[in-house]
DNA sequence: GTTGAGCGTT
């Protein structure tokens, strides 16, 4: 999706990609194009969007034809407030096809010396290997904002190979912080609970029968963790089950069957019910 | 109507 309406990247043989971060979710390529085009020839403007929702992810890619123009745009637009948000402009490091990138320049097999250094740093990736969470809502300290602006000064009036250390810190920081919560969450075992329940409903037909008389069964086994809530939902569920015409339980049972991943391991554990 | 770490499409 390019601003020019073409499919895919137009020509990335010798273009310089700029990464624009911290843009508003409502900002589109059309809004960024005139802004960046003032400082040079913009070849393409692309804003990655979510596959599911289709909303902008909050960053965009601007391709310049000349490095000097791209550099100028960075100095001029980095930290600029756009649409009420302070955007951050910097050279893109990861190519669209995992191509080699020199401070924003995309080259296929022309450069080779600087490329080695990046491999050592671990910048290179085959694409799709980077684990990134799509969760937009996450607690974080806003104190990292000012630090970003600080590194911008390194680029001023310099087009040499300066400006790589800033990424190391940022990368390490985000890495350790992003992985820690994710792993812990996965270990919590929030997935086991719904799985086990699905099996219980599937393997135990008596559950459906009990639905007609939940009192005979253990009220604690109700799906509602809150007793107060269970009481409210109880009459509703009871009425539906008694009618015997409610397709709801049937559909849920069938779905659970398809979702069951390891029914055997669960079936062998009688303690699961207690 | 919202959110806010981060690196990309036919």
Chain B: positions less than 7 Å from a protein CB are 2-10
**A62-76, A89-103, A119-133 — most confident range:** A62-76
pLDDT of residue A14: 79
Q: Is the pLDDT of residue A28 over 50?
A: yes
Give CA–CA dist A141/A88, Å, rounded.
17
How many angstroms is C1' of B5 away from CA of A212?
Answer: 48
The mean pLDDT value of chain A amounts to 57
CA end-to-end span of chain A: 54
pLDDT of residue A182: 39
Q: Is the pLDDT of residue A82 over 80?
A: yes
Give CA–CA dist A95/A107, Å, rounded.
9
Q: Strand B: which residues 40-99 of A lie within 7 A (CB)?
A: 44, 46, 48, 55, 57-59, 61, 63, 85, 88, 90-96
A140 touches strand B (CB under 7 A): yes
Q: Is the pLDDT of residue A77 over 80?
A: yes
How many angstroms is C1' of B10 away from CA of A6?
Answer: 8
* Minimum-distance nucleotide, CA of A95 to C1': B8
pLDDT higher at A44 or A240 = A44
**A87-96, A211-220, A251-260 — most confident range:** A87-96
Q: Is the pLDDT of residue A257 over 90?
A: no
**In the numeric block, which tokens belong to residue A98?**
């995992």
| Residues A227 and A218 sit within 8 Å (Cβ to Cβ) | no
For residues A135, A140, A46, A121, the Cα torsion angle rounded to the nearest 10 degrees is -100
């Amino acid at each position: 999706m390019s601003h020019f309406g073409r499919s895919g990247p137009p020509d990335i043989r010798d273009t310089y990609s700029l990464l624009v971060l911290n843009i508003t979710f409502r900002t589109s390529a059309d809004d960024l194009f005139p802004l960046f085009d003032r400082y040079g020839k913009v070849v393409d403007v692309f804003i990655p969007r979510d596959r599911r929702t289709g909303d902008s992810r909050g960053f965009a890619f601007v391709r310049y034809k000349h490095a000097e123009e791209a550099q100028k745009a960075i100095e001029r637009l980095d930290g600029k407030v756009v649409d009420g948000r302070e955007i951050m402009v910097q050279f893109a490091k990861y190519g669209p096809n995992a191509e080699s990138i020199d401070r924003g320049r995309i080259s296929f097999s022309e450069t080779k010396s600087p490329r080695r250094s990046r491999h050592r740093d671990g910048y290179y990736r085959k694409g799709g290997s980077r684990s990134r969470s799509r969760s937009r809502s996450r607690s974080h300290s806003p104190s990292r904002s000012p630090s970003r602006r600080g590194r911008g000064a390194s680029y001023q009036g310099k087009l040499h190979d300066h400006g790589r250390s800033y990424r190391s810190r940022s990368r390490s920081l985000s890495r350790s912080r992003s992985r820690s919560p994710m792993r812990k969450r996965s270990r919590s075992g929030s997935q086991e609970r719904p799985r086990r329940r699905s099996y219980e409903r599937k393997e135990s037909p008596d559950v459906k029968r009990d639905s007609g008389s939940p009192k005979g069964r253990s009220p604690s086994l109700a799906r509602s963790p809150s007793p107060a809530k269970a009481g409210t939902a109880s009459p509703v569920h009871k009425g539906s089950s008694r009618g015997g015409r409610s397709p709801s339980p049937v559909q849920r049972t069938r779905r659970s069957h398809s979702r069951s991943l390891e029914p055997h391991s669960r079936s062998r554990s009688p303690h699961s019910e207690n």
